[in-house]
Amino acid sequence: MVKATWNGAVLAESDKTVVVEGNHYFPRSAIRPEFFKPSDTTSICPWKGTANHSIVVGGAENRDAAWYYAEPKAAAAEIKDRIAFWKGVEIS
């Protein structure tokens, strides 16, 4: 089972992650939605598309520490409806 944690909270947990470029992408159904909020910031990957999301735990925000591709490009279709993490989020 792969787990994503930050600031003492389990953000996501799944045994069905997809690994792309060393990042575990969790199924949307595996995240705890109460810790996530939309972000206006986006990033663009030439082969995956546009991504964004933020994490809030106990009032502390880790801005843009989670990302997802709502409409990934064809080459990245396997990560549609999946979320990955960075910026201090521990994957174990």
CA distance 63 to 41: 9
Residue 75 DSSP code: G
Beta bridge partners of 20: 23
pLDDT, averaged across the chain = 90
Q: Is a pLDDT exceeding 90 seen at residue 8?
A: yes
| Span 30-56, pLDDT tens digits | 999 999 888 888 788 888 877 777 788
Q: Which domains does the chain have, with CATH numbers?
A: 2-91 (2.170.150.40)
**More confident: 1 or 68:** 1
Provide the pLDDT confidence category of residue 23 given band limits of 50, 70 and 90.
Answer: very high
Provide the pLDDT confidence category of residue 25 given band limits of 50, 70 and 90.
Answer: very high
